[in-house]
Amino acid sequence: MVAAIRTIAARGDAGGRLLEDDVIGRLVDPAELEEIQNLLKLGTATYEFVVSRCCYIDNWLHRFRADGGRTVLLLGAGLDSRSCRFPGLGFIEVDSPMAVKAKRELLKTRGIDPQCEVRYVGTDLAAILTAEEPSLGIEIGVLEQPVAVVAEGLVYYLPKEAIGGLFGIVRSHPGVRVILDYMDDRLFERQAPQSFERRIRAEGELVTSLWSVAEMEGLFEQAGLTVLEKVDTYELIRRDFPKTAVTFSSNHIIAGQARVA
Ligand SMILES: C[S@@+](CC[C@H](N)C(=O)[O-])C[C@H]1O[C@@H](n2cnc3c(N)ncnc32)[C@H](O)[C@@H]1O
């Protein structure tokens, strides 16, 4: 779904903020595009949120690269196309073994060559991040530094302890930057019953963890990560899609850095 939304945004089909991504449309199944047209008709701000989240993280990565950043660890990478759009950076894409296999086949059959060096790691992040010795399927220390960790559209699929595990790893690598988005724990109480979010839950998509802002920021603090920026979707959507009415901020983006001793 995320890739289909980005395709529509990259083509400019729905108005509002444009995404600069000429690869994503080649990864998407045309039938999915039709589903997204229906989503747009629902009038929830899901489309706007996904587009503005992607633009925000793109901008953050442009700054990371401009500051000399070298490697991006994409957790729950899905069909993320950044390895085709950020020359100069190296990528490690982590997702479930099935998702990694499907993406690699898709890239091959559609003749898409990432512009960057990419390593793929197929693993269950929920399992390895909650293990007694949490891991990411790859050692941050062996990667070309500086490193940024990106978890876009992933946190709500993972148990809270997994985020604790992630921060525990990041904290032992001073200087590593991290950006992620998470769902507000008031979401399901606030939404109208027919809303898209309730429907995905009812249809069995596994939303595992919702967070309060205080809880997420508390975990950053506890893990020795300095919060460097944060934004909620209300603010983001207002900036990128001024005509869309949003009354409640369902998601938040937070970015920080492991403290240097
Ligand atoms: C909503 S998609 C977001 C994909 C991508 N980050 C993006 O923004 O286009 C969530 C991704 O997280 C992956 N994911 C969810 N739970 C996971 C887990 N336990 N281990 C590894 N990947 C997981 C899914 O396979 C999916 O690719």
In the chain, where the domains are located = 67-258
**Mean pLDDT across 31-49:** 76
Q: How many residues does the chain have?
A: 261
Selecting from 1.10.645.10, 3.40.50.300, 3.40.50.1010, 3.40.50.150, what CATH number does the domain 67-258 have?
3.40.50.150
**Mean pLDDT across 4-19:** 80
- Phi, psi angle pair for 180, to nearest 5°: -155, 160
Closest ligand 1 atom to residue 151 Cα is: 6
pLDDT tens, residue by residue, 141-184: 999 999 999 999 999 999 999 999 999 999 999 999 999 999 98
Q: DSSP for 20-76?
A: --SSHHHHS-HHHHHHHHHHHHHT-SHHHHHHHHHHHHHHHHHHHHHTT--EEEEET
Closest ligand 1 atom to residue 54 Cα is: 8
Could you tell me the distance, in angstroms and rounded to a whole number, from the CA of residue 75 to the centre of ligand 1? Answer: 7
Ligand 1 neighbours (beta carbon < 6 A): 2, 76-80, 95-96, 99, 124-126, 152-154, 157
- What predicted TM-score, i.e. pTM, was given to this entire model? 0.92
Which residue lies with its CA nearest to atom 13 of ligand 1?
76
Helix/strand/coil for 158: coil
Could you tell me the distance, in angstroms and rounded to a whole number, from the CA of residue 244 to the centre of ligand 1? Answer: 27
pLDDT tens, residue by residue, 234-248: 899 888 888 887 877
Task: Spell out the alpha helix ranges (H) of the chain.
Answer: 2-11, 24-27, 30-42, 46-66, 97-109, 125-129, 160-171, 187-190, 196-202, 213-222, 233-240
CB–CB of 17/51 below 8 Å?
yes
> Where is average pLDDT lowest: 20-24, 76-80, 111-115, 247-251?
247-251
